[in-house]
Amino acid sequence: SAVISQKPSRDICQRGTSLTIQCQVDSQVTMMFWYRQQPGQSLTLIATANQGSEATYESGFVIDKFPISRPNLTFSTLTVSNMSPEDSSIYLCSARGSTDTQYFGPGTRLTVL
Amino acid sequence: GDSVTQMEGPVTLSEEAFLTINCTYTATGYPSLFWYVQYPGEGLQLLLKATKADDKGSNKGFEATYRKETTSFHLEKGSVQVSDSAVYFCALHPPHGNKLVFGAGTILRVKS
Protein backbone atom coordinates (compact mmCIF):
# COMPACT_ATOMS: atom_id res chain seq x y z
CA SER A 1 0.00 0.00 0.00
CA ALA A 2 0.97 3.63 -0.35
CA VAL A 3 0.73 6.31 2.32
CA ILE A 4 -0.08 9.73 0.92
CA SER A 5 0.27 13.07 2.66
CA GLN A 6 -1.02 16.45 1.52
CA LYS A 7 -0.22 19.99 2.50
CA PRO A 8 -2.00 22.13 3.49
CA SER A 9 -4.81 20.18 5.07
CA ARG A 10 -7.10 23.17 4.79
CA ASP A 11 -6.98 26.81 3.78
CA ILE A 12 -9.18 29.86 3.47
CA CYS A 13 -8.26 32.07 0.53
CA GLN A 14 -9.40 35.29 -1.05
CA ARG A 15 -10.88 35.28 -4.53
CA GLY A 16 -8.40 36.03 -7.27
CA THR A 17 -5.47 34.41 -5.46
CA SER A 18 -3.83 31.04 -6.12
CA LEU A 19 -3.08 28.09 -3.87
CA THR A 20 -0.60 25.28 -4.44
CA ILE A 21 -1.31 21.92 -2.85
CA GLN A 22 1.50 19.46 -2.34
CA CYS A 23 1.19 15.68 -2.42
CA GLN A 24 3.88 13.30 -1.18
CA VAL A 25 3.77 9.49 -1.51
CA ASP A 26 5.92 7.29 0.70
CA SER A 27 6.96 5.04 -2.19
CA GLN A 28 7.51 5.29 -5.93
CA VAL A 29 4.22 4.98 -7.77
CA THR A 30 3.32 4.58 -11.38
CA MET A 31 0.43 7.00 -11.53
CA MET A 32 -0.74 10.03 -9.59
CA PHE A 33 -4.10 11.74 -9.88
CA TRP A 34 -5.87 14.84 -8.63
CA TYR A 35 -9.57 14.82 -7.77
CA ARG A 36 -12.08 17.41 -6.66
CA GLN A 37 -14.90 16.61 -4.29
CA GLN A 38 -17.56 19.27 -3.95
CA PRO A 39 -19.69 19.29 -0.79
CA GLY A 40 -21.88 16.22 -0.55
CA GLN A 41 -20.72 14.93 -3.93
CA SER A 42 -18.67 12.09 -5.32
CA LEU A 43 -15.16 12.52 -6.69
CA THR A 44 -14.42 14.17 -10.02
CA LEU A 45 -11.09 13.49 -11.68
CA ILE A 46 -9.26 16.70 -12.58
CA ALA A 47 -6.17 15.24 -14.20
CA THR A 48 -3.54 12.55 -14.28
CA ALA A 49 -0.15 13.88 -13.22
CA ASN A 50 2.54 12.55 -15.57
CA GLN A 51 6.12 12.39 -14.42
CA GLY A 52 8.31 14.68 -16.45
CA SER A 53 5.60 15.80 -18.85
CA GLU A 54 2.38 17.76 -18.98
CA ALA A 55 -0.59 16.44 -17.05
CA THR A 56 -3.55 14.87 -18.84
CA TYR A 57 -6.69 16.86 -18.07
CA GLU A 58 -10.28 15.65 -18.02
CA SER A 59 -13.04 17.40 -19.86
CA GLY A 60 -13.92 20.65 -18.16
CA PHE A 61 -10.51 21.20 -16.57
CA VAL A 62 -7.71 23.22 -18.13
CA ILE A 63 -4.05 23.70 -17.42
CA ASP A 64 -4.32 27.47 -16.97
CA LYS A 65 -6.75 27.02 -14.10
CA PHE A 66 -5.21 23.88 -12.55
CA PRO A 67 -1.51 23.67 -13.38
CA ILE A 68 0.04 20.43 -12.17
CA SER A 69 3.62 19.39 -11.70
CA ARG A 70 5.14 15.97 -11.10
CA PRO A 71 8.92 16.26 -10.95
CA ASN A 72 9.50 12.69 -9.72
CA LEU A 73 7.75 9.41 -8.90
CA THR A 74 6.70 10.38 -5.36
CA PHE A 75 5.67 14.06 -5.50
CA SER A 76 3.12 16.22 -7.25
CA THR A 77 1.58 19.66 -6.88
CA LEU A 78 -1.77 21.07 -7.94
CA THR A 79 -2.30 24.82 -8.16
CA VAL A 80 -5.78 26.30 -8.10
CA SER A 81 -5.38 29.60 -9.93
CA ASN A 82 -7.38 32.82 -9.85
CA MET A 83 -9.77 31.30 -7.34
CA SER A 84 -13.46 32.03 -7.05
CA PRO A 85 -15.97 30.81 -4.43
CA GLU A 86 -16.99 28.05 -6.87
CA ASP A 87 -13.54 26.50 -6.33
CA SER A 88 -14.37 25.79 -2.69
CA SER A 89 -13.99 22.01 -2.48
CA ILE A 90 -11.91 19.20 -1.13
CA TYR A 91 -8.95 18.43 -3.38
CA LEU A 92 -7.63 14.89 -3.14
CA CYS A 93 -4.37 13.43 -4.35
CA SER A 94 -4.34 9.78 -5.31
CA ALA A 95 -1.70 7.29 -6.39
CA ARG A 96 -1.46 3.85 -7.88
CA GLY A 97 1.52 1.53 -8.04
CA SER A 98 1.95 -1.67 -9.98
CA THR A 99 -1.48 -3.05 -9.09
CA ASP A 100 -4.87 -1.54 -9.90
CA THR A 101 -5.44 -0.45 -6.30
CA GLN A 102 -5.59 3.31 -5.87
CA TYR A 103 -4.84 5.08 -2.60
CA PHE A 104 -5.91 8.53 -1.50
CA GLY A 105 -4.48 11.32 0.55
CA PRO A 106 -6.40 12.98 3.39
CA GLY A 107 -7.50 15.86 1.19
CA THR A 108 -7.12 19.63 1.24
CA ARG A 109 -10.20 21.55 2.27
CA LEU A 110 -10.30 24.83 0.41
CA THR A 111 -12.66 27.69 1.14
CA VAL A 112 -12.61 30.71 -1.15
CA LEU A 113 -14.17 33.92 0.13
CA GLY B 1 -19.23 3.72 -20.97
CA ASP B 2 -18.34 2.24 -17.60
CA SER B 3 -20.52 3.26 -14.67
CA VAL B 4 -21.32 2.45 -11.05
CA THR B 5 -24.73 2.80 -9.42
CA GLN B 6 -25.14 2.80 -5.65
CA MET B 7 -28.25 2.83 -3.55
CA GLU B 8 -29.24 6.29 -2.49
CA GLY B 9 -28.81 7.37 1.07
CA PRO B 10 -28.77 8.32 3.70
CA VAL B 11 -29.08 4.90 5.26
CA THR B 12 -29.93 5.17 8.95
CA LEU B 13 -29.52 2.12 11.18
CA SER B 14 -29.45 1.34 14.84
CA GLU B 15 -26.29 -0.06 16.38
CA GLU B 16 -25.86 -3.81 15.81
CA ALA B 17 -28.21 -3.82 12.82
CA PHE B 18 -27.36 -5.60 9.57
CA LEU B 19 -26.06 -3.41 6.77
CA THR B 20 -26.41 -3.80 3.03
CA ILE B 21 -25.39 -1.10 0.57
CA ASN B 22 -26.19 -2.09 -2.99
CA CYS B 23 -23.76 -1.48 -5.82
CA THR B 24 -24.15 -2.49 -9.45
CA TYR B 25 -21.87 -1.74 -12.33
CA THR B 26 -21.69 -1.55 -16.10
CA ALA B 27 -18.35 -2.30 -17.67
CA THR B 28 -16.71 -3.96 -20.63
CA GLY B 29 -14.79 -7.04 -19.63
CA TYR B 30 -13.93 -7.85 -16.04
CA PRO B 31 -13.15 -4.80 -13.95
CA SER B 32 -11.65 -4.80 -10.47
CA LEU B 33 -14.15 -3.65 -7.86
CA PHE B 34 -13.58 -1.59 -4.73
CA TRP B 35 -15.30 -0.16 -1.72
CA TYR B 36 -13.85 3.00 -0.21
CA VAL B 37 -14.95 4.67 3.02
CA GLN B 38 -14.75 8.37 3.86
CA TYR B 39 -15.11 9.25 7.53
CA PRO B 40 -16.19 12.81 8.38
CA GLY B 41 -13.49 15.31 7.59
CA GLU B 42 -11.11 12.73 6.10
CA GLY B 43 -9.96 11.42 2.74
CA LEU B 44 -10.92 8.09 1.19
CA GLN B 45 -9.67 4.85 2.67
CA LEU B 46 -9.68 1.58 0.79
CA LEU B 47 -12.08 -0.73 2.62
CA LEU B 48 -11.95 -3.84 0.45
CA LYS B 49 -11.48 -5.04 -3.10
CA ALA B 50 -12.14 -7.96 -5.42
CA THR B 51 -10.44 -8.56 -8.73
CA LYS B 52 -12.35 -11.42 -10.30
CA ALA B 53 -15.74 -13.11 -10.34
CA ASP B 54 -16.79 -14.83 -7.10
CA ASP B 55 -13.94 -13.19 -5.15
CA LYS B 56 -14.99 -12.00 -1.72
CA GLY B 57 -13.29 -8.94 -0.30
CA SER B 58 -13.43 -8.45 3.46
CA ASN B 59 -12.08 -6.05 6.05
CA LYS B 60 -13.14 -4.78 9.50
CA GLY B 61 -16.25 -6.99 9.45
CA PHE B 62 -17.36 -5.68 6.05
CA GLU B 63 -17.54 -7.95 3.05
CA ALA B 64 -18.59 -7.85 -0.59
CA THR B 65 -18.69 -10.55 -3.25
CA TYR B 66 -17.97 -9.93 -6.94
CA ARG B 67 -21.07 -11.24 -8.74
CA LYS B 68 -20.51 -11.29 -12.45
CA GLU B 69 -23.93 -12.71 -13.30
CA THR B 70 -25.72 -9.81 -11.59
CA THR B 71 -22.88 -7.26 -12.13
CA SER B 72 -23.05 -6.43 -8.45
CA PHE B 73 -20.71 -5.85 -5.51
CA HIS B 74 -22.99 -5.24 -2.54
CA LEU B 75 -21.38 -4.22 0.75
CA GLU B 76 -22.54 -6.03 3.89
CA LYS B 77 -21.80 -6.00 7.59
CA GLY B 78 -23.49 -8.16 10.16
CA SER B 79 -23.51 -5.69 13.05
CA VAL B 80 -22.81 -2.01 12.53
CA GLN B 81 -21.34 0.33 15.10
CA VAL B 82 -21.70 4.08 15.56
CA SER B 83 -18.09 4.38 14.41
CA ASP B 84 -19.10 2.99 10.99
CA SER B 85 -20.97 6.22 10.24
CA ALA B 86 -19.35 7.49 7.06
CA VAL B 87 -19.80 7.81 3.31
CA TYR B 88 -19.21 4.61 1.35
CA PHE B 89 -18.14 4.70 -2.30
CA CYS B 90 -18.27 1.78 -4.69
CA ALA B 91 -15.79 1.99 -7.57
CA LEU B 92 -14.49 -0.01 -10.50
CA HIS B 93 -11.20 -0.06 -12.35
CA PRO B 94 -11.73 -1.10 -15.96
CA PRO B 95 -9.45 -3.83 -17.32
CA HIS B 96 -8.10 -1.62 -20.10
CA GLY B 97 -8.08 1.81 -18.57
CA ASN B 98 -6.33 3.96 -16.03
CA LYS B 99 -9.20 5.71 -14.30
CA LEU B 100 -11.33 4.67 -11.37
CA VAL B 101 -15.06 5.05 -11.93
CA PHE B 102 -16.92 6.02 -8.76
CA GLY B 103 -20.49 5.68 -7.64
CA ALA B 104 -22.27 8.65 -6.10
CA GLY B 105 -21.56 7.51 -2.54
CA THR B 106 -23.95 6.36 0.19
CA ILE B 107 -24.16 8.08 3.55
CA LEU B 108 -24.47 5.67 6.47
CA ARG B 109 -25.65 6.94 9.84
CA VAL B 110 -25.63 4.58 12.79
CA LYS B 111 -27.54 5.56 15.93
CA SER B 112 -26.72 4.29 19.42
Does residue A84 register a pLDDT over 90?
A: yes
pLDDT per residue over A20-29, tens digit each?
A: 999 999 999 9
In B15-111, DSSP assigns E strands to: 19-21, 23-26, 32-38, 44-50, 56-59, 62-65, 75-77, 86-93, 101-102, 106-111
pLDDT per residue over A90-99, tens digit each?
A: 999 999 988 8
Does residue A81 register a pLDDT over 90?
A: yes
Minimum distance, in Å, between the CA of residue B100 and any CA atom of chain A: 8
**How many other CB atoms are found less than 10 A from the CB of residue A81?**
16
CA gap A41, A24 in Å, rounded:
25
A positions 73-112 inside 8 Å of B (CB) = 92, 94, 100-107
Q: Which residue of A has its CA nearest to B43?
A: A106
pLDDT per residue over B37-74, tens digit each?
A: 999 989 999 999 999 999 999 999 999 999 999 999 99
Nearest of B76, B67, B106 to residue B90 by alpha carbon: B106
pLDDT of A100: 82
Residues of A in contact with B105 (CB under 8 A): 41-42
User: What average pLDDT does the structure give for chain B?
Assistant: 95
CA gap B33, B52 in Å, rounded:
8
Phi-psi category of residue B91: left, alpha or beta, with phi > 0 → left and psi -120 to 50 → alpha: beta
CA gap A51, A67 in Å, rounded:
14
Does residue A70 register a pLDDT over 90?
A: yes
A69: confidence class by pLDDT, cuts 50, 70, 90: very high
Compute the C-alpha angle A94/A98/A100, nearest 5°. 60
More confidently predicted of B28 and A14: A14
Sequence-distant (6+) residues with CB within 8 A of A62 are: none
Residues of A in contact with B103 (CB under 8 A): 42
pLDDT of B29: 87
Q: Which residue of A has its CA nearest to B89?
A: A42
In A18-101, DSSP assigns E strands to: 19-25, 31-37, 43-49, 56-57, 68-69, 75-80, 89-96
User: What's the mean pLDDT in A51-65?
Assistant: 94
Is residue A5 within 8 Å of A103, Cβ to Cβ? no
| Interface contact flag, A43 B93, Cβ < 8 Å | no
| Interface contact flag, A31 B98, Cβ < 8 Å | yes
